[in-house]
Amino acid sequence: MVALQVKLTTGEAARMAADTVNIKAYEKFLKAMENYLYRTRESSLVARQLFEQAIALDPEYAMAYVMLGWTYLDDIWQGMTSTPAESIAKAEAMAQKAISIHGVTTDENTLLTGVHVLKGNFDQALAYGEKAVEQNPNSAGAQNLLGTTLRYKGQYDQAISRLKKAIRLEPVKKISYLSNLSWAYLYSSQYEHAIATWKEALARNPDFLGAYLGLTAAYGFSGSEDRARQAARQVLRVNPQFSTGYWEKLALLEDEELREKLFDAWRQAGLK
């Protein structure tokens, strides 16, 4: 975890962790966040266990339920489940549990934004994302998910603006925020910016699967076939079971032509 250099006593992590008076639950939450922010399959699973332990210590720890929900969405983003619908349902249930404890806040609306993105309900995701930002314009997480939703909807200039704001609002640049910005650069044909930003994420976590997937596409789109194949080999190093078929089942882009271009680039680089 040293590569992260994250201070968990600042920014949104501190605000979320403070949603309990149980010091042991608080400590579990901080350890969970440290793992979650590292953005690997293994660290996400460790984070899930720690969020569950925090909830066991304080069953009214609403923010622990929210973050537990995010680990279920990680099942999909990290390619760890053969039943994405079940993972999405679990994440949505965690959002509803948190709502039952302290009502609908920015954090629940942000999680529901992610839920509906992965359902392919982009208009609903946009509505939740806009509500989350309206509730707290200074929430980096809300700005990040709204920007991500705008990216999926093909509104790249707006997406980039939101994603840059999310990064500015956090004391330390989160790997996931950098990656989301990189994808927006990629889809708007700003390949050099995309590559540079993914490399920044990899400097913090050399096992970040999303960055290697993005680099494979970015190099492929820009005609650097050798580099695309090199990045694809790193994808398989991090996840030897990687399958393009898994991602093809998820409708994560409204632009069908761009979607096909992405999968073609992955296949041409050697990903199957």
- Shared domain for 116 and 86, answered yes or no, is no
Has residue 184 been placed in a domain?
Answer: no
How confident is the model at residue 112, as a pLDDT?
98
- Shared domain for 8 and 71, answered yes or no, is yes
Other CB atoms closer than 10 Å to residue 208's CB: what's the count?
23
Has residue 204 been placed in a domain?
Answer: yes
Q: In a 3-state reduction of DSSP, which class is residue 204?
A: helix
Interval 184-199: pLDDT, tens: 999 999 999 999 999 9
- Shared domain for 167 and 257, answered yes or no, is no
Distance CA 89, CA 173 (A): 29
Cβ–Cβ under 8 Å, residues 106 and 95 = no
- Shared domain for 29 and 96, answered yes or no, is yes
CA atoms within 13 Å, Cβ hemisphere of 227: 11
DSSP alpha helices (H): ranges in 222-272? Answer: 225-238, 244-248, 256-268
* Domain end point (choices 83, 102, 121): 102
- Shared domain for 84 and 127, answered yes or no, is no
Has residue 29 been placed in a domain?
Answer: yes
Q: What is the rounded end-to-end Cα distance, in angstroms, of the chain?
A: 31
* Domain end point (choices 171, 197, 223): 171
Q: In a 3-state reduction of DSSP, which class is residue 56?
A: helix
Has residue 176 been placed in a domain?
Answer: no
Nearest to 175 by CA among 37, 36, 6: 37
How confident is the model at residue 163, as a pLDDT?
97
Distance CA 254, CA 76 (A): 18
Has residue 34 been placed in a domain?
Answer: yes
How confident is the model at residue 1, as a pLDDT?
34
How confident is the model at residue 249, as a pLDDT?
78
Residue 72 in tokens = 């279920």
Distance CA 139, CA 66 (A): 15
- Shared domain for 133 and 224, answered yes or no, is no
- Shared domain for 216 and 238, answered yes or no, is yes
Which residues fall within 8 angstroms of residue 91, CB to CB, at 6 or more apart? 69, 70, 72, 73, 111, 114, 115
Distance CA 158, CA 24 (A): 41
- Shared domain for 213 and 255, answered yes or no, is yes
How confident is the model at residue 48, as a pLDDT?
97
Average per-residue pLDDT in the chain? 91
Model pTM? 0.88
Which residues fall within 8 angstroms of residue 269, CB to CB, at 6 or more apart? 216, 219, 220, 225, 228, 229, 231, 232
Nearest to 183 by CA among 209, 217, 206, 207: 217
How confident is the model at residue 7, as a pLDDT?
42
- Whichever domain contains 40, its CATH number is 1.25.40
- Shared domain for 30 and 96, answered yes or no, is yes
- Give me the residue label for tokens 């898994």: 246
- Whichever domain contains 121, its CATH number is 1.25.40.10
Positions of the chain with pLDDT lower than 50, given as ranges? 1-10
Interval 200-211: pLDDT, tens: 999 999 999 999
